[in-house]
Amino acid sequence: MNSSAEMPYEEAFRQVLAHRTMLKAYVQAIVRDPFLAEDAFSEVTLEIARSWNRFDRSRPFESWARGVARRVALTSIRKQGRQPVTLDDSVLESIGTELDAFGNEIELGLRKEALETCLGILTEANRELVRLRYFENRGYEEIARMLGRSVGALYVALTRIHAALHDCVRRKLRLA
Amino acid sequence: MNPDVPHGLDDPRERMLLYLDGTLPADEVERLNARLRSDTARRGEFAEMVLQQVQLTELDHAKKGAAPLHERIVQLPIEAGESKMRKPPRRWIVPLAWAASIALLLVLNAWFFGPTTGEPILAKIEANEVSIRRGGDSVPATIGLHLQPGDVLRTGTNDAATLNFGPENTGLLLSASTKLRVASFTHGKRLELHEGKLEASVARQRPFRPMIIATPQAEARVLGTKFTLTTTANSTRLDVSEGNVRLTRTSDGARVDVPKEYSAIAAANVYLAALPKTGGILREYWTNILGDHPGQLAREPAFPDRPNGSEMLNSFEVPSNWGDHFGDRIRGFIHPPLTGAYVFWISADADSTLTLSRTEKPEDRTQIAVADGGPPQDWDRHIAQRSNPLTLEAGRRYYLEVIRKTDTGLDHLAVAWQPPGGQREIIPAEFLSPVETKKGRR
């Protein structure tokens, strides 16, 4: 587990760990379901470890890992009996690069702390919407029935919630 | 913020959200694709939105990870008593052997092949966040509702629900964020635990008509017992309080009988076995030893096989000011609740070493942190008190050991961890189990 007694794949796990948020986000951009993305990310971790001997260390880990993640994510969509409808590989890779620009796990951790604080600025109703959608993974139709709102209104509300959180996180990171 | 405005796709961020939720039509995906290909700023916005979604999901996991697993204990009476189907012998029939035999056969027939007595009824809801799906519709979750085959019951993040089974003394407590499907009553009671945790108190079931609870990884077959079943995306954990439960791993048919006070985990690449339940870790101590270095304990002839005494710790913390001139060893297993990176810390009054195995075998352990004094729970006094982030898998157990040798003064010792997405905390008992010691050994 520590360097002196490492198994060969432990370096792979270490690398995944150091890029886990980027990889999770990248997988989510492909599978388009936060909870399926969690499962697919676990599989990505194993696949990276299994393929570790084939990784050319002279290349950046991030783009190689995204290649592995893309294959695994597409497979997990097919396993669900769905046909992948996703962005082009080149667009996905550009988004991966954008994700890299958010920084390392420490910086991403600060961003997550800011995000948690920013949830406090939302109205009670909007926090409830976040909870139902992202914490409980409930579908829009179900949420619409529960809250007595239209699906369209929920999309608009969530878009605004994301924008509000985005602005709040940026403010907090600037102040930090 | 007014969310009640008409829906439309004029806002590119809304199109991104629809895409990330898997509901954007294919032709709109192509439009989004073209936009993202040419517009760097939009790509940045998209990346930020997807990152935000992932981190929101993680925030919830962190909260769940920090919450104690055994928040609510169900107190349901268990009664393995006589079935109502049994009838007292009829004295006047004694001379008529044939009639007696027929009566007996009738009783046995009813016992073995009669209908299952209990069907699930929603008996209690803690908050008001229980949803029930029947067919494609929602059914109001009202107390007394009889659940039917095919019904899916789901509890909210702050809720719990209790199901009883008609006249029999069987009860199921569903914890928060649990999804349970009632599969059928045809040959016993068959339920499917898709996610979450349930605590069951099951009255004796009829032969050949067990209660079966299936999870994505395993099947628990019950004839009468108390147990807890917890399932996540990757593993199922069974803890038995009374009786005996057979757990079958569905991927390969491997099975294990889990007795009282034991647990088992069904997951890929995890050895299926009945293990002592979590809830503590073993501390052994050796007294009247001078010196303040762990090596001095190791040189003692009584170490490691003949401690002066031992106790079970309720968390990874030794009571302070325990004594002078002693050494101790705390050893057992940790059971990570989530797969991911864990950081460990040790804090102690004297030289102490924390070792962790990458397996459940002690011989695979390596030193991950050391302490050399300082006040209680001063975790960051020295960098060596903290381990590197270590990837651990949920559903597995890892051997962990601390050796300390203390001399005089205020003694204390604690080990903390920070689970993925969680806060630093002294490792709670529910994630610890002791090593199996030989019978009679202190």
Picking from B10, B29, B51 by the largest number of A CB atoms within 10 A of its own CB, the best residue to mutate is: B51
Q: Give the end of a domain, one of B54, B77, B112.
A: B112
Residue carrying the six token digits 């209104």: A153
CB B225 within 8 A of CB B245: yes
Within a domain: residue B440? no
Predicted local distance difference test score (pLDDT) of residue B381 = 84
CA B144 to chain centre: 29
Residues B145 and B255 in one domain: yes
Q: Does residue A19 belong to the interface with chain B, where contact is any CB pair within 8 Å?
A: no
CB A132 within 8 A of CB A143: yes
Structure tokens at B125: 């809801």
Predicted local distance difference test score (pLDDT) of residue B203 = 82
CA dihedral B223→B229→B231→B234, nearest 10 degrees, is: -80
Considering the entire predicted model, what is its pTM?
0.41
For chain B, 442 residues long, give each residue's pLDDT as a single digit of tens: 333 333 445 678 888 988 888 888 888 888 898 889 888 888 999 999 999 998 988 886 555 543 322 222 222 222 233 333 334 445 555 666 666 666 666 655 555 554 446 788 888 888 778 889 887 788 888 888 888 888 999 998 888 899 988 777 888 999 988 999 988 877 778 899 998 999 888 887 776 678 889 998 888 888 778 888 988 887 888 888 888 888 988 888 888 888 887 888 887 766 677 776 777 899 999 998 887 777 778 888 889 888 999 888 988 999 888 988 999 999 999 988 788 899 999 999 988 999 999 998 898 888 898 898 889 999 988 888 999 999 998 768 899 999 999 888 889 999 999 988 889 999 988 789 888 664 332 2
Predicted local distance difference test score (pLDDT) of residue B91 = 53
Within a domain: residue B329? yes
Chain B CA closest to residue A13: B391
Q: Give the end of a domain, one of B276, B295, B318.
A: B276
Picking from B52, B153, B353 by the largest number of A CB atoms within 10 A of its own CB, the best residue to mutate is: B52
DSSP B222-290: ESSEEEEEEE-SSEEEEEEEESEEEEEETTT--EEEEETTEEEEEETTS----EEPSS-EEEEEEES--
Angstrom CA distances, B260 to B257, B263, B364, stand at 10, 8, 30
Residues B232 and B341 in one domain: no
* Pairing label, strands B189-202, B211-214: parallel
Structure tokens at B369: 């942190």
Residues B241 and B260 in one domain: yes
Q: CA of A56 to nearest chain B CA: how many angstroms apart?
A: 23
Q: How far apart are CA B325 and CA B323, in angstroms?
A: 7
Q: Give the end of a domain, one of B93, B112, B131.
A: B112
Within a domain: residue B12? no
Chain A CA closest to residue B46: A95
CB contact under 8 A, B54 and A37: yes
CA B21 to chain centre: 29
Cβ contacts from A onto B, under 8 A: 181
Domain boundaries, position B297: 281-434
CB A69 within 8 A of CB A95: no
Residues B344 and B373 in one domain: yes
Residues B335 and B240 in one domain: no
Number of domains into which chain B is organized? 3
Q: CA of A100 to nearest chain B CA: how many angstroms apart?
A: 10
Greatest mean pLDDT among A45-59, A78-92, B344-358: B344-358
Residues B142 and B288 in one domain: no
Q: Does residue A100 belong to the interface with chain B, where contact is any CB pair within 8 Å?
A: no
* Partner residue facing B388 (CB), from A2, A34, A156: A2
What domains lie within chain A, and their CATH numbers?
A: 7-102 (1.10.1740), 105-175 (1.10.10.10)
Residue carrying the six token digits 């961020």: B13
Q: CA of A59 to nearest chain B CA: how many angstroms apart?
A: 23
Residues B105 and B217 in one domain: no
CB contact under 8 A, B46 and A95: yes
Q: Which amino acid is at B286?
A: W
Strands (E) located in B53-113? none
CATH of the domain at B176: 2.60.120.1440
Within a domain: residue B57? yes
Predicted local distance difference test score (pLDDT) of residue A165 = 93
Structure tokens at B105: 């056969």
CATH of the domain at B425: 2.60.120.1560
Q: Which of residues 142-161 of A touch B (CB under 8 A)?
A: 142, 145-146, 149-161
Within a domain: residue B87? yes
Q: How far apart are CA A39 and CA A22, in angstroms?
A: 15
Q: Which residues of B touch A136 (CB under 8 A)?
A: 156-157, 177
Residues B268 and B411 in one domain: no
Residues B302 and B214 in one domain: no
CB contact under 8 A, B1 and A161: yes
CB contact under 8 A, A135 and B60: yes
Residues B293 and B422 in one domain: yes
Residues B228 and B347 in one domain: no
Residues B181 and B264 in one domain: yes
Within a domain: residue B21? no
